């Protein structure tokens, strides 16, 4: 793969469209509310792994077709499941579930800015994908949750990402009760950054978010995102040392030269454009 958007493979569960700098990804199985299964998990992992190598891409936009973001795992995968003898090899259910977790890790680690537009259901895997996004725009009627315990299973690959986003309190409540929250409460607990009353407001908010993102230097965003991600597992002094050594070249590079000059001259830097 050559690292360009045009080199992306064709997917069965995803639609992709790009203008070169913004990649729009639509989860495209509206008949099952964009639910998660093995094929979906593998295609997400392939997509995000490829996108991570696309240096010219600035923004990844995620949304679901048919009025739902992603309704979590397909319960058909769990119904009447036979016992599995590990002497036969790894449990296939565990294997594809782990692929979903790797997909979320790949999404979480993307250097590009990631926006999720959440309408309808974002439960199970859906809430996990939203939690791995930089910006979440939710309709007021969107539903977030981890209700797996109500059918006797667990959100195994989702809980760590949601807990990191909301803190343990809200995550414990959702897991222990199976409770779902709508857009306003998702905003309150940190799952969403914007909560919109209407579809028109969702679209207007998305346009403003994309405009703000395209006003930011892509190299600066990538470097700053890396610092945020490193902050979850590296010692503070190590992060600060590394950040200082990133700042020097970044401040002497073309982005800083253009950005500072444009600011002082009241002009737009070379990377600025409207969505």
pLDDT tens per residue across span 1-10: 455 666 788 8
pLDDT-derived band of residue 121, with 50, 70 and 90 as boundaries?
Answer: very high
Long-range contacts, 270-275 (Cβ 8 Å, 24+): 271/214, 271/216, 271/217, 271/218, 272/214, 272/215, 273/21, 273/214, 274/211, 274/214, 275/22, 275/207, 275/210, 275/211, 275/214
Percent of the chain, pLDDT > 90? 63
Q: What is the pLDDT of residue 77?
A: 63
Rounded to 5 degrees, what angle do the CA atoms 197, 201, 207 make? 150
User: Tell me, what's the pLDDT at 58?
Assistant: 97
- Whether 47 has a pLDDT exceeding 50, the answer reads yes
pLDDT for the residue numbered 16:
96
pLDDT exceeds cutoff 90 at 253: no
Find out whether 25 and 13 touch, Cβ atoms under 8 Å: no
**Over 50: is that where the pLDDT of 140 sits?**
yes
Spatial contact of 64 and 12, defined as CB atoms under 8 Å apart: no
Helices (H) and strands (E) in the chain, counts: 10, 9
Q: What is the mean pLDDT of residues 192-210?
A: 98
For residue range 164-199, list pLDDT tens digits in order. 999 999 999 999 999 999 999 999 999 999 999 999
The most confident of 31-45, 224-238, 241-255, by mean pLDDT: 31-45
pLDDT at 89 over 70: no
**Given pLDDT bands bounded at 50, 70 and 90, which one contains residue 202?**
very high
Cβ proximity of 1 and 43 under 8 Å: no
pLDDT computed for residue 1 by the predictor: 44
DSSP per residue, 166-225: H-HHHHHHHHHH--EEEHHHHHHHTS-SEEESSHHHHHHHHHHHHHHHHTS-HHHHHHHH
Task: Give pLDDT, residue 76.
Answer: 66
pLDDT at 195: 98
CA distance 45 to 108: 12
Tokens of 232: 């979850």
Identify the pLDDT of residue 152. Answer: 86
Dihedral Cα 141, 146, 152, 156, nearest 10 deg: 150
Residue 82 scores a pLDDT above 70: no
What is the mean pLDDT of the segment spanning 241-252?
Answer: 75
Mean of pLDDT values over 28-47 = 94
Distance of CA 126 to the CA centre of its chain: 9
The mean pLDDT of 126-149, rounded to a whole number, is 97
Encoded tokens for 70: 């992603």
pLDDT at 86: 63
Q: From CA 218, how far away is CA 216, in angstroms rounded? A: 6
d(CA 159, CA 71): 16
């Amino acid at each position: 793969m050559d690292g360009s958007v045009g080199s992306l493979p064709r997917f069965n569960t995803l639609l992709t469209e790009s203008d070169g700098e913004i990649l729009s990804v639509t989860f495209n199985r509206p008949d099952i509310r964009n639910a998660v299964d093995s094929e979906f998990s593998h295609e997400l992992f392939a997509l995000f792994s490829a996108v991570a190598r696309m240096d010219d891409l600035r923004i990844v936009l995620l949304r679901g077709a048919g009025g739902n973001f992603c309704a979590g795992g397909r319960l058909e995968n769990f119904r009447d499941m036979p016992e599995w003898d590990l002497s036969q090899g790894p449990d296939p259910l565990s294997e594809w579930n782990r692929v979903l977790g790797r997909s979320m890790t790949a999404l979480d680690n993307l250097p590009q800015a990631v926006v999720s537009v959440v309408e309808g259901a974002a439960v199970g895997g859906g809430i996990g994908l939203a939690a791995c996004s930089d910006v979440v725009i939710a309709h007021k009627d969107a539903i977030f949750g981890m209700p797996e315990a109500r059918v006797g299973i667990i959100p195994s690959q989702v809980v760590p990402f949601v807990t990191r986003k909301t803190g343990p309190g809200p995550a414990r409540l959702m897991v222990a009760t199976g409770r779902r929250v709508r857009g306003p409460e998702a905003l309150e607990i940190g799952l969403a950054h914007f909560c919109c009353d209407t579809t028109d407001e969702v679209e207007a908010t998305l346009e403003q978010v994309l405009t703000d993102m395209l006003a930011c230097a892509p190299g600066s965003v990538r470097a700053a995102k890396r610092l945020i991600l490193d902050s979850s597992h590296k010692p503070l002094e190590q992060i600060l040392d590394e950040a200082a050594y990133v700042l020097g070249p970044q401040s002497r590079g073309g982005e800083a030269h253009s950005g500072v000059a444009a600011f002082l001259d009241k002009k737009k830097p070379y990377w600025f454009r409207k969505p």
